[in-house]
Structure 1
Amino acid sequence: MKRYVIYKRVSTEDQGRSGLGLEAQQRDIAIFLKNFSEEPFEIVGTFTDVLSGASESRPEFDKALALVRKTGAEMLVAKLDRLGRKVAHIANLMEDRRVRLRVAQMPHADKFQLHIYAALAEQEREFISRRTKDALQAAKARGTKLGGLRDKTMARNVAIQEKARQEAGPAMAVIGPMRAGGETLMAIAEALNRTGVATSRGGRWTAKQVSRVIDRASAG
C-alpha cells in the first residue's frame, strides 16, 4: 500500500488562521491523490507549519521528516516551494535515501527534475529581487519621492508586476504552440492544469488567465 506524509506550509500567522493558502494546498493534494496516486493509499500523518519560507526553524516539517524516515512513506506537498526556497535544502533532502518526495502539482516529476526546477526557481527569485531594486533606483533617479509607506508600497507593486511577468515565461512554453495550433483558451487552461504549471497565485488556470498571459507576452 502506498503511504504518504502530507506537509503544508503557509507564510504568515494570518494565513494559518484564515485558511488562505492552506485550502489551495489541500485542494491540489486532493487532486493528486484522486488522479495520480497508486491505490490503495494511506495518509500516515499530516503536518502544517505557519512561518516564513526563509525560516530555519520548522518544527512541523521536522516531525513530518522524522515520520517519513521511520515509516518509509513519501512526503507529499502541493508545491515544491513548500519544502523551502533554498535549492541547497531541497538538494539535501533528495540526497537522503530514506526520504522520498512527491509534489502534487508535478505528479510525474522525478528527483532529478525536481532538483532542476528548484534551482531555476531560486534563480528567478534572485532575478526578480534585482529587478525590483533596479526599478526603485530608476524611480528615484527620475525624481520620484520615495520613503516610508510609499517606498514599501512601490516596492510591493513592482514585485507584483515582476511576478506576473515571471508567470508568462513557463506558461507560454505551453500556451504558444497550442494557440498557434488553433486550440481554445479553455483547452489551453486545462492543459496547463494537467502539466502542473501554476499561476502566479498558485491556483488553477482559467481561460481568462490564459488570455491575460498572452496579452502580457505580446506587450513584452
Structure 2
Amino acid sequence: MKQYVIYKRVSTEDQGKSGHGLDAQQRDIDIFLEKFSDVPFEVAGTFQDIQSGADNDRPELAKALDLVRKIGGELLVAKLDRLGRRVAHIATLMDDKRVKLRVAQMPQADKFQLHIYAALAEQERTFISERTKAALKEAKRKGVRLGGLRDKTMKRNEAIQHKADAEAAKVMRIVGPLRASGQTLSAIAETLDSMGVATSRGGTWTATQVSRVIERGQK
C-alpha cells in the first residue's frame, strides 16, 4: 500500500492561527489523493510549520522527512514552494534516495521536472529583486524621496492586491468546484467564458489566467 506523509507550511504565525493558506493546501492535497493517487493508499502522518520558506531549519519538516525515510513513503506537499524558496535546499531533498517527493499541483512531475521548476522560480525571484533595486536607484538619482515613493507604491500595491483578491475570491466560487471535479484549466476557462464571467480586464479567459486565480486563492 502506498503511504504518504503530508507536509504543509505557512509563512507567519497569524496565518498559522487563522488557518489562512492551510485550507487551500489541504484542498489541493485532497484533490491529488482523490484524482491522481494510486490506490489503495494511507496517510501515515501530517506535519506543518509556521515559518518562512527562506528558513531551512524547520522542525516539523524534519519530522516528516524522518517518517518518510522510516516507512519508505512519499512526502506530499501542495506546492513546491511549501518546501522552501531556495533551489539548493529543494535539490538536496531530491538527491536523497530515501525521500520520494510528490507535489499535488504537479501530480505527474518527476524529480527532474520539479528541479527545473524550482530553478526557474528562484531565477524569477532574483530578477524581480534586482529590478526593484534598479528602480529605486534610478528614483534616487532623479532626486525622488524614496520614503515617500515606497509609501505611495505600497498603498497603491495594497489597493491593487485587495481588488485582485476580491475578484479572485468571487471567481473561485466557480473555479474551485470545477477544478475539484478534475476539469482542466482550459476547460474551466471555456466554462467561465460561456457563463459570461469576464476577466479583471474585461477579456476572455485563458488557462494561464485561471491558474493565476487559483494561485491567488491559495495565498
TM range (shorter): 0.7 to 0.9
Distance 1:31 1:19, change over 3 A: same
TM-score, normalised by the number of residues in structure 1? 0.72
Partner of residue 150, structure 2? 151
Give runs of aligned pairs for residues 181-220 of structure 1, distance below 5 A.
184=190, 186=192, 198-199=211-212, 202-203=215-216
| Cα displacement string for residues 184-210 of structure 1 (whole angstroms, at most 9, x for unaligned residues) | 3737969559xxx842772469xxxxx
Tell me which amino acid in the other structure corresponds to 2:190.
T
Partner of residue 102, structure 2? 102
| Cα displacement string for residues 147-183 of structure 1 (whole angstroms, at most 9, x for unaligned residues) | 2x8636636967999xx9xxxxxxxxxxxxx99xxx8
8 Å Cα contact 2:56/2:89 also seen in 1: no
Tell me which amino acid in the other structure corresponds to 1:202.
E
Tell me which amino acid in the other structure corresponds to 1:184.
E
Give runs of aligned pairs for residues 88-167 of structure 1, distance below 5 A.
88-147=88-147, 151=150, 154=153
For residue 140 of structure 1, report the CA deviation from its aligned partner: 2.8
Distance 1:145 1:29 in 2: 46
- Does structure 1 residue 59 correspond to structure 2 residue 59? yes
Distance 1:6 1:130, change over 3 A: same
| Cα displacement string for residues 23-57 of structure 1 (whole angstroms, at most 9, x for unaligned residues) | 11111111111111111110000000001111132
- Does structure 1 residue 79 correspond to structure 2 residue 79? yes
Distance 1:57 1:128 in 2: 25
Identity %: 61
8 Å Cα contact 2:11/2:50 also seen in 1: yes
Unpaired segments ≥5 residues, structure 2:
165-184, 194-203
8 Å Cα contact 1:2/1:42 also seen in 2: yes
TM-score, normalised by the number of residues in structure 2? 0.72
Distance 1:91 1:157, change over 3 A: farther
Distance 1:16 1:62, change over 3 A: same
Unpaired segments ≥5 residues, structure 1:
165-177, 206-220
Distance 1:96 1:57, change over 3 A: same
Tell me which amino acid in the other structure corresponds to 2:215.
G
8 Å Cα contact 2:5/2:45 also seen in 1: yes
Distance 2:158 2:87 in 1: 21
Please report the RMSD computed on the Cα atoms of aligned residues, expressed in angstroms.
3.3
